[in-house]
Amino acid sequence: MVSPQEFRPSGDVDGRTFRLGAKTLVKSMSFDWTRPLVFMHIPKSAGTSLTEAMRAALNPRTSVLRRFDQCLFGDFRDFENMPDIVRQAIFRGPDQLEAGCDFVAGHLSWTTTHHAYPSAQFMTVLREPVSRLLSHWLFWRSLTDDQLAPWGREWIVRLKQSRQPLRSFIAAPNIASQTDNVAVRMLLWPHRLIPDGDFIDERHDETLRKEALARLNRFSFVNFLENPRLAGDISDWLKCPLTIPNLNETPALSTEFATDIASEIGGDTHRLLELRSRLDGQLWQHAAAIWYPDLDTAARREEIFAKNASRFARVMAGETVGAVASP
């Protein structure tokens, strides 16, 4: 990567802390231009925009972008019948990931990337997980038949489950790898307590929570999408200017798939949304507390979801919206 010579961040960078006003916020390790950077892109967390922002800021000599491993495909195995353009973007094992790149970003688990880049700096940005899950459903639901076609017949069957009511979507075990505590899955996959084709048993929550937080604490940079200073925090860490564009936004849904958000998320479905997000919610609160130690993270989560539910209702009404509610 080409290190900038002129830019210096606002604020004082000193090892593992960053001073902002009167507060000293715990940060991860200082950025090192001599080591590769791996960005773990959690779906529907503005990762496409963040990837492009960092690619432009870092100007890497070599990179691996917009790739997948098997973590998010769960128990799906019919990769050979996918079209080449999609199949070639999916790493079937950790040895398939190219080594020697400066920047790696994609829907890739820790296991896959750490195997190829054991000395890399890892970063991720977490999104309030109930909002993330609702956004995931809407994004898949917005895809036309033409947009689905490259994914192959068998995976399309799973993608089209988003055209069912929200409760059916998040109750389907064959897409649990996409709906059930996805951040924890990407951090720990493969794991004996995380089934590929089913939901995580609540009996294992404490074990998985501890292991996921321990893994997250090995990252060089962790932040949260709803942070109003996110772009500045990343810029300060990288020690170079950074602008986050608006990319891969959820488009307005066709009238065929439009529905009433309030009725979709009401009653038992809201409880199920919380269940599918329970572990990721603890990770999000951990990340938010790093940057804002005095924040009431539980109350903030509720506020964020309420704003996003209103925004998603506008998607159903024909608007195209971005990934996150205004701070």
pLDDT of residue 249: 72
DSSP annotation of 16 reads T
- Asked, for residue 110, whether it belongs to a domain, the answer is yes
| HEC readout, 237-269 | HHCCCCCCCCCCCECCCCCCCCCCHHHHHCCHH
Residues of the domain holding 53: 35-316
pLDDT of residue 247: 84
Amino acid found at 168: S
Amino acid found at 243: T
Per DSSP, the chain holds a count of helices (H) and strands (E) of 15, 9
- Asked, for residue 129, whether it belongs to a domain, the answer is yes
- Asked, for residue 70, whether it belongs to a domain, the answer is yes
- Asked, for residue 228, whether it belongs to a domain, the answer is yes
Q: Using 50, 70 and 90 to split pLDDT, how confident is the model at 319?
A: low
Q: Using 50, 70 and 90 to split pLDDT, how confident is the model at 257?
A: confident
pLDDT of residue 322: 57
Query: In the numeric block, which tokens belong to residue 44?
Result: 């529907």
Distance of CA 303 to the CA centre of its chain: 20
Query: In the numeric block, which tokens belong to residue 96?
Result: 């398939």
The closest of 63, 68, 14 to 41, measured between CA atoms, is: 68
Number of domains the chain contains: 1
Report whether pLDDT(20) > 60. no
Mean of pLDDT values over 80-109: 94
159 to 57, 125, 179, 229, 239: CA distances (angstroms): 34, 24, 12, 34, 40
- Asked, for residue 18, whether it belongs to a domain, the answer is no
- Asked, for residue 322, whether it belongs to a domain, the answer is no
The closest of 1, 247, 233, 186 to 103, measured between CA atoms, is: 1
- Asked, for residue 28, whether it belongs to a domain, the answer is no
